[in-house]
């Protein structure tokens, strides 16, 4: 396993650096590293590491979500609230409904299989979106209107909705029946439950750090990460939005102790360097090129039509908002990448014995290959053209 870890860190860093020098997002080089080192490539990664790949990816994701939460203030939430709410629901439902329709009439899926496929693919990837938005925040793009924060907040709820609707279709397949209203009512419960869990754990941390204020910042950071991992575990166990819980912990720390939150941000910025490499290399390792090939050109067409529907959904969700058209279009581009959810649950229908499970997995994998690089590239290169900075305003 140690040899595999060294390969991930060294080759992931080198390819990321090469892609950055080519004016391409470094994460594309890291994804490529995972494909080359993983089962679809030269299979140089130890099976014991691949078996815990999901856990490692979750820890890396927790670090970046904490960074995001530590940068969201109460005033920002008030500013983006209504628009963020609409962006959380409308785009994912547009994309999901479109892919459901296409799967039924083009792929000859039944409506249950089509729904499972649609809401696996429809989930936006926090693994790609969150670091991209944090980078834009550091560069002050869209700062005046808090556009990166708007996308950060809405993308996490987008995931909650997509996974919940997928679970509804999976439940119908398993039992042959399900109460749609009862399942849909779980969505606000999951969101509110995740926020409440984060608030409780955040307040406990604030009290703990006040009580033991002689603790050094590295020790406090270890406690923070440990509690955030606990929030993720508890969130999954309780059936609430664990990603929102982690971000809320960061938000509470910023509200209660801004100077401590700034210190945490500096430490997490350094931790993110190796965490980023592990996250994207291991996502790449989970990609099965030969499986994606089975989806074919029709599969790619369905994915891109779904993305077009998502962009339309974003434009509708931001109609009559405080954003201009360029900024609204940027939000649409930012909502393109898929990776995290598709890698995590793409194979679930197949393991559950769904007749079209293999093709669902193929389309999920293909969506990662097509949209993770496309989204990362689109965000990085459209931001200077579509968003303004303080320098531009002055």
Summarize pLDDT for 230-256 with one digit per residue, the tens.
Answer: 999 999 899 888 888 999 999 999 999
Say what the pLDDT of residue 335 is: 94
Say what the pLDDT of residue 240 is: 86
In a domain, 13, yes or no: no
Place 177 in a pLDDT band, splitting at 50, 70 and 90: low
Give the pair of three-digit tokens for residue 388. 């303004």
263 to each of 71, 131, 132, 216, how far by Cα in Å? 12, 19, 21, 11
Number of Cβ within 10 Å of residue 211's Cβ equals 9
pLDDT in tens, 116-139: 999 999 999 888 999 999 999 999
Average pLDDT, whole number, for the chain? 90
Per the CB < 8 A criterion, the answer to whether 285 and 36 are in contact is no
- Residue % of the chain over a pLDDT of 70: 96
In a domain, 14, yes or no: no
pTM of the model: 0.87
Helix (H, G, I), strand (E, B) or coil at 25: coil
Is a pLDDT exceeding 80 seen at residue 154? yes
In a domain, 19, yes or no: no
Is a pLDDT exceeding 80 seen at residue 225? yes
Is a pLDDT exceeding 60 seen at residue 178? no
Number of Cβ within 10 Å of residue 218's Cβ equals 9
Q: How far apart are the first and last CA of the chain?
A: 53
- Beta carbons within 8 Å of 284's beta carbon, 6+ residues apart: 30, 31, 32, 33, 34, 35, 36, 37, 38
Residues for the chain: how many in total?
394
Say what the pLDDT of residue 182 is: 66
Of the candidates 31, 22, 119, 18, the residue with the CA atom closest to the CA atom of residue 368: 31
Is a pLDDT exceeding 60 seen at residue 393? no
Q: ∠ CA(105), CA(309), CA(118), 5° rounding?
A: 50
Q: Provide the angle, in degrees to the nearest 10, between the axes of the packed helices 296-317 and 357-386.
A: 50
In a domain, 8, yes or no: no
In a domain, 17, yes or no: no
Q: How far apart are alpha carbons 357 and 337 in whole angstroms?
A: 22
Say what the pLDDT of residue 184 is: 66
DSSP codes of every residue in 268-323 = HHHHHHHHHHHHHHHHHHH--HHHHHTTHHHHHHHHHHHHHHHHHHHHHHTTTSS-
* Average pLDDT of the segment spanning 295-316: 95
Per the CB < 8 A criterion, the answer to whether 295 and 342 are in contact is no
Read off the CATH number of the domain in which 180 is found: 1.20.1530.20
- Beta carbons within 8 Å of 291's beta carbon, 6+ residues apart: 358, 361, 362, 365
Per the CB < 8 A criterion, the answer to whether 152 and 68 are in contact is yes
Is a pLDDT exceeding 90 seen at residue 378? yes
pLDDT in tens, 59-116: 998 998 898 899 888 888 888 888 999 999 999 999 999 999 999 999 999 999 999 9
In a domain, 68, yes or no: yes
In a domain, 21, yes or no: no
Of the candidates 309, 351, 365, the residue with the CA atom closest to the CA atom of residue 332: 309
pLDDT in tens, 30-43: 999 999 999 989 99
In a domain, 3, yes or no: no
Which domain range does residue 241 map to? 26-393
Is a pLDDT exceeding 50 seen at residue 394? no
Q: How many domains does the chain have?
A: 1
């Amino acid at each position: 396993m140690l040899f595999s870890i060294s390969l991930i860190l060294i080759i992931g860093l080198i390819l990321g650096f090469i892609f950055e020098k080519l004016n391409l997002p470094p994460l594309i080089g890291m994804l490529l590293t995972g494909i080359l080192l993983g089962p679809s490539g030269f299979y140089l990664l130890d099976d014991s590491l691949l078996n815990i790949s999901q856990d490692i990816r979750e820890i890396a994701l927790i670090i970046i979500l904490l960074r995001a939460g530590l940068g969201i203030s109460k005033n920002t939430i008030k500013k983006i609230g209504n628009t963020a709410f609409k962006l959380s629901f409308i785009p994912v439902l547009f994309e999901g409904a479109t892919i459901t329709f296409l799967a039924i009439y083009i792929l000859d899926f039944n409506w249950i299989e089509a729904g499972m496929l649609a809401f696996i693919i429809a989930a936006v990837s926090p693994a790609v979106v969150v670091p991209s938005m944090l980078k834009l925040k550091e560069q002050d793009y869209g700062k005046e209107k808090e556009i990166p924060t708007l996308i950060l907040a809405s993308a996490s709820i987008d995931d909650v909705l997509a996974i919940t609707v997928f679970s509804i279709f999976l439940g119908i397949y398993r039992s042959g029946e399900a109460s749609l209203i009862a399942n849909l009512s779980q969505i606000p419960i999951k969101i509110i439950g995740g926020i409440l869990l984060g608030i409780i754990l955040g307040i406990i941390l604030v009290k703990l750090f006040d009580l033991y204020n002689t603790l050094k910042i590295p020790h406090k950071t270890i406690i923070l990460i440990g509690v955030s991992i606990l929030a993720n575990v508890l969130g999954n166990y309780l059936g609430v939005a664990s990603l929102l819980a982690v971000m809320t912990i960061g938000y509470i720390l910023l509200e209660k102790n801004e100077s401590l939150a700034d210190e945490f941000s500096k430490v997490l910025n350094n931790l993110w360097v190796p965490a980023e490499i592990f996250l994207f290399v291991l996502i790449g390792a989970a990609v099965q090129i030969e499986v994606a090939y089975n989806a074919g050109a029709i599969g790619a067409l369905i994915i891109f039509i779904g993305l077009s529907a998502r962009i339309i959904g974003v434009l509708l969700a931001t109609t009559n908002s405080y954003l201009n058209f360029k900024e609204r279009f940027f939000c649409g581009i930012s909502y393109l990448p898929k990776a995290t959810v598709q890698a995590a649950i793409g194979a679930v229908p197949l393991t559950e014995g769904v007749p079209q499970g293999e093709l669902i997995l193929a389309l999920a994998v293909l969506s990662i290959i097509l949209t993770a690089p496309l989204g990362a590239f689109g965000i990085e290169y459209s931001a200077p053209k579509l968003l303004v900075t303080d320098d531009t305003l002055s």
